[in-house]
Structure 1
Amino acid sequence: MNITLPDGGKIELEDNSTILDAAKKISNSLAKKAVAGVVNDKIVDLNTALHNEDNIKILTESDKEALEILRHSTAHLMAQAVLRLYPETKVTIGPVVENGFYYDFDRDTPFTVEDLEKIEKEMAKISAENIAVTRKEISSSEAIDRFTKEDEKYKVEIIKDLGVDTVSLYEQGDFTDLCRGPHISSTGKIKHFKLLSVAGAYWRGDEKNKQLQRIYGTSWFSKKELDDYLNMLEEAKKRDHRRLGKQLKLFTIEEDAGAGFPIYLPRGGMLRAVLEQFEREEHIKRGYDIVYGPTILKKDLWVCSGHYDNYKENMYFTEIDGVEFGIKPMNCLSHIMIYKNDLHSYRDLPLRYFELGSVHRHEKSGVLHGLMRVRAFTQDDAHIFCRQDQLLEEITNILDFVKTVMDIFGFEFIHTVSTRPEEKFIGSVEVWDTATKALIDALEDKGLKYTINEGDGAFYGPKIDIKLKDAIGRLWQCATIQCDFNLPERFDLSYIGQDGEKHRPVMLHRVILGSVDRFLGVLIEHFAGAFPVWISPVQVKIMNITDESAEYAETLYRKLKQAGIRVEKDLRNEKIGYKIREAQMEKVPHMIVVGNNEMNENKVSVRLRNGETKNNLDFSAYISVLQSLVDSKSLELWAE
């Protein structure tokens, strides 16, 4: 039997040989590292039988797909351990998620931290048993009969909804699960795992269904990888923007006001105001016009755009005088109305409209997460209307804009091109191909690397998604560039070309930060709440050592205010050490400590957030330092 390898080479195998046999034939070291195989572009288990002229690739621990297989297998291992310990539990689904996996269970008694420890120990025992994992295909009717007898109603529901003739089961000892696979060949290969948390989750994400218990975990091929990830999680806890938001008095989300609706406190309001002012200035410099649109628009517009058919479940609606209105989940329709307000010549284009627009989206309660996933937020939204021959330059300009802004905050980032969805999309395939090519051409023209995310475009056009890498290596989706030929067609947008005829403009939807609220959450975690001086809501805190120096401290406070510095004062009758510790807990960049010496010499002494001190400074020289840090948008605490 001839088997073709990715490099074009061939190997000879006996009939009925498997992927594992092929790996052994290539090398013993490869066989030891083998996790699964790819046969004719389909990922399969190691014990899958091969056929003459199959094209195969061996997946090892270094492959991304292998890690996903390991984690999916670990989810099954966890479910097996749960059923051994708590046999009354009903199992549902256990997919892979970023950096780990989860499994949802139906159990009346809530899982506790102690339960997780017991489950982990049982998982280790099953791993030590080194049970073979095998795949079996049976008819759907047979599977339904089996799971009905076992009272596994969730499995029965899944099979009925699949509507297929056959399904695959994976068995490992006393545990069987409905699954497409592939999986690790034995439980003994699953060694480095950790259960992380328990959360509530509705069956199939529907709030009308029963609430289940979701256990999250992670799994890795080596102890070092697991330890590194757990250390990163500990660091992430310290940086959690929800905790820091409360500690630094930036924002609050109150159940009384509504889940997913953040309220910004004075310091958070100032942080947001500084960020938004920065955004306005950067957009005006680049030729954008500032515009504003209403929060609600007639349903007819959302029908015309396609949102009513393709995005309705994410929208809120209301009624006025018997007419249905949609509360905007995005700002594009108002900008289309602005474009339609005038006739345009080819000489007018491109037109760039920018709005810090407040939008609302109906997010399920289970996915709400601080500022990262909310129901009310503000987008730094812009729409560019241009000729097709201007597309490359405009997309390139946006990519440059993103880089400039992300460099200011010290973010690295990656690019992903999200292409046409398989089902929910408007317009022709040809138009989508043209739009996708325009995005890819711009990336390649800039020499930028990118990956393809098949089928994840918006329903009206493909997009470039830009993900930021924060200080501890996590990726966050922020900037997006969408290329849209379809909405201009639906709203009959036009301009008069050089030939005197009507032509259709192309519409670019883009955000630089994305959701301002989400970006603030990312900033909080990236900087661990210790913001650079230029954006910090409180840049300086003045504190006196003695009552005699309080008046001098008050004078400095007024002068800093007049110079446009965001300053607070602490003139309480407390020990200076207490005041400094409190200011450091608030992560204030600069602390001016005023005593009798500073007062008598008309100087200032500055303590930086990192503990460094700058003593006996001339006040005007200090103002210059502050202004230099602000003007340059420096990430440093001091400018010499």
Structure 2
Amino acid sequence: MTTPDSAVLPARVSVAAGTTAGTALRELGAPNKGPNAIVVVRDLEGQLHDLSWAPQSDAEVEPVAADTEDGRSVIRHSAAHVLAQAVQDLFPGTKLGIGPPIKDGFYYDFDVNEPFTPEDLAKLEKKMKQIIKGGQRFSRRVYESVDQAKAELADEPYKLELVDDKGSADDPEVMEVGGGELTAYDNLNPRTGEREWGDLCRGPHVPTTKYIPAFKLTRSSAAYWRGNQANADLQRVYGTAWESTEALDAHLELLAEAERRDHRKLGTELDLFSFPDELGSGLPVFHPKGGIIRTELENYSRQRHIESGYQFVNTPHITKGDLYETSGHLDWYKDGMFPAMHVDEELNEDGTVRKPGQDYYLKPMNCPMHNLIYKARGRSYRELPLRLFEFGSVYRYEKSGVIHGLTRVRGMTQDDAHIYCTPDQLQSELKSLLGFVLGLLADYGLDDFYLELSTRNEEKYVGTDKQWHEATEALREAAMDSGLELVLDEGGAAFYAPKISVQARDALGRTWQMSTIQVDFQLPDRFDLEYTANDGSRQQPYMIHRALFGSIERFFGVLTEHYAGAFPAWLSPVQVVGIPVAADYEEHLRGVIEQLRRAGVRAEVDASDDRMQKKIRNHTTQKVPFMLLAGERDVEAGAVSFRFRDGTQVNGVPIERAIPLVTEWIAQRQNQSPTAGAFAEDAQ
């Protein structure tokens, strides 16, 4: 029965024993078409169930609509099954990997003879549409035994491995097996009831393929079975699926806009940075224009840190391995560090060792070195809180498969601070620190935040329960006091300390992890850090780790995409370009540009042989915020005309007014692009 999309359902629905959830919903007139169609139900323990689920005793359930997070996830996993069915139809002999829902989409891994081509994806989409139109029914089936499952899956080696290794049930990307029953989902012909296709799966799924109203295959790539490069090479096909065509179209437009904003693409177009093969993977270089932006980012940060009582330090790029033995990083973080350099070994003529060498490591983080600075002399409680700050270069051995532009690199510069304080200073320091972090990010144009609290990983930590509890609750209190939404990340902390991370949404609504704050009781203990308290006793300070940008490189990449390369005027490599209508008016503009340069503005005149319109196009493409034009009337009036990135224009602005308009806009660090609307009134 089809009911109007406007049908109103109670928050909870009663399902009688032996009755399916779908039957109970139909009796209430639940919608089965449109964005608010009910696709699954959730029991009171939070478990999702198919609409064909019939509880053994009376149950209360919550309807889950297609346009909710859980609803979309179920639609996407169902679409992954349809994709796998289409692949095995068109490419017989293909072996199946896994096919989970992911953020905004799904994927499925396949062991196939040849990599998929764009033409293959088009054929697969066409086949999927045929399957969806056929209205096949998803039917859950419980295997009577593991042996039965293995017999049925004898030709699917990857599925057999999952059956053998049910520990993977805790892996959110493995939908095949669960902690209880071993189940399959069959796709049944709606007319004959015959099985068209099936897959090992714990579910749940939408009732029929017609509940997948809108999907798109987006790309394919190489993959490894269960993410391990030592395992078989697979082909991964990605797709996205939504509750309506309108939602799909909006998402695809978002993807297209994200591609236009890709910082790697803009970095080349705007001549900001590059990744020379000669240097190695994940090691960027910044070109002069990128260097200007980076310098401005750093200089403003330095200014704000000075105002907030930080003291600047510098530490070397390498150190003896003993330092990271003390800190614990060689025990807990060695896989993320570059291999040791064994140096200073001296040999006798016969090859025997006269003087043993030592292992040196590129530093993966700055905190152990800052602890040595703290420990270099005695400290008094009167010095605390002591806030040490460094733009410190660090090196991390990221796997090649995860390196991505500036946002995941192997060599980076962290804006790293470590704060040493007394116990009674901890809470006020955390609250003021969080305010400082949020305020500074907002100054760069990111101001839509929520917080994430990462708690102890029970299998990978050092320290006592009491220490972890105190540190976690201190962070929780500071986060709650901020008034921002707080999301729990259970088990996501590093081995030594819980963490608050500031999650910032960019112009496209995407979330990026920015600043991190950690309360650490472990390193002060490992390094025997002390201060003299006001009663003369020796006490151990509390230590707060804080990275504001995370890394300059990553922050640069995020801002590039946030602004689509059109950086605020105060960050722009070239802030003003003078464009004469003809060569006769060049000298007039040079005088204006010279005044701007004396005022500290990055300004230049385009004296090339290109026509004026081409110059305007070139500098608009290069995202220059202010273009000053001059023709005969401007020269006669002692004026210039403003042209902006959006194509708007303000004509005939007197030079004595134009200069302060530009300099004040830059000095105020306004993050929006200047436009005629913003300048027309002030220019009079």
Find the aligned partners of 1:611 and 1:12 in 2 and give their Cα distance.
61
CA contact (8 A) 1:421 1:458 kept: yes
- Of 273-282 and 506-515, deviating more is 506-515
Which residue does 2:353 correspond to in 1? none
3-state SS of the aligned residue for 2:549? strand
CA contact (8 A) 1:140 1:166 kept: no
Alignment of 1:232 onto 2:248: no
Which residue does 2:215 correspond to in 1? 193
CA contact (8 A) 1:19 1:37 kept: no
**In the TM superposition, what are the counterparts of 1:189-588 in structure 2 within 5 Å?**
189-319=211-341, 320-321=343-344, 322-411=357-446, 412-588=448-624
Find the aligned partners of 2:545 and 2:463 in 1 and give their Cα distance.
16
Which residue does 2:186 correspond to in 1? 171
- Of 405-414 and 580-589, deviating more is 405-414
CA contact (8 A) 1:357 1:380 kept: yes
Which residue does 1:3 correspond to in 2? none
Q: Alignment RMSD, CA only? A: 2.6
AA of the residue aligned to 2:135: N
3-state SS of the aligned residue for 1:510? strand
Which residue does 2:129 correspond to in 1? 124
Deviation track 1:344-377 (CA, whole Å, cap 9, x = no partner) reads 2222211111111222222222222221222222
AA of the residue aligned to 1:401: F
AA of the residue aligned to 2:314: Y
How far apart are 1:24 and its partner, in Å?
5.0
CA contact (8 A) 1:71 1:219 kept: yes
How far apart are 1:382 and its partner, in Å?
1.1
AA of the residue aligned to 2:338: Y
3-state SS of the aligned residue for 2:340? strand
Distance 1:510 1:202, change over 3 A: same
AA of the residue aligned to 1:153: P
- Of 406-415 and 29-38, deviating more is 29-38
Find the aligned partners of 1:497 and 1:139 in 2 and give their Cα distance.
67
CA contact (8 A) 1:19 1:58 kept: no
Which residue does 1:77 correspond to in 2? 82
CA contact (8 A) 2:14 2:59 kept: no
Deviation track 1:535-555 (CA, whole Å, cap 9, x = no partner) reads 111101123333333344444
- Of 583-592 and 566-575, deviating more is 566-575
Deviation track 1:118-172 (CA, whole Å, cap 9, x = no partner) reads 111211222223223214245445444443x31x222233344446897433332
TM-score (norm. length: structure 2)? 0.86
Find the aligned partners of 1:291 and 1:175 in 2 and give their Cα distance.
64
Distance 1:12 1:38, change over 3 A: closer
CA contact (8 A) 1:239 1:525 kept: yes
How far apart are 1:49 and its partner, in Å?
4.0
CA contact (8 A) 1:36 1:184 kept: no
3-state SS of the aligned residue for 2:360? strand
AA of the residue aligned to 2:436: F
AA of the residue aligned to 2:459: E
Find the aligned partners of 1:60 and 1:10 in 2 and give their Cα distance.
13
Distance 1:231 1:9, change over 3 A: closer
CA contact (8 A) 1:38 1:59 kept: no
CA contact (8 A) 1:140 1:165 kept: no
- Of 181-190 and 552-561, deviating more is 552-561
Find the aligned partners of 1:422 and 1:54 in 2 and give their Cα distance.
34
Find the aligned partners of 2:196 and 2:316 in 1 and give their Cα distance.
60
> Which 4+ residue blocks in structure 1 deviate beyond 6 angstroms?
7-10
Gaps of 5+ in 1: 1-6
Find the aligned partners of 1:89 and 1:579 in 2 and give their Cα distance.
55
Distance 1:430 1:131, change over 3 A: farther
CA contact (8 A) 2:41 2:49 kept: yes
CA contact (8 A) 2:394 2:412 kept: yes
Distance 1:624 1:501, change over 3 A: same
3-state SS of the aligned residue for 1:170? strand
- The number of aligned residues is 630
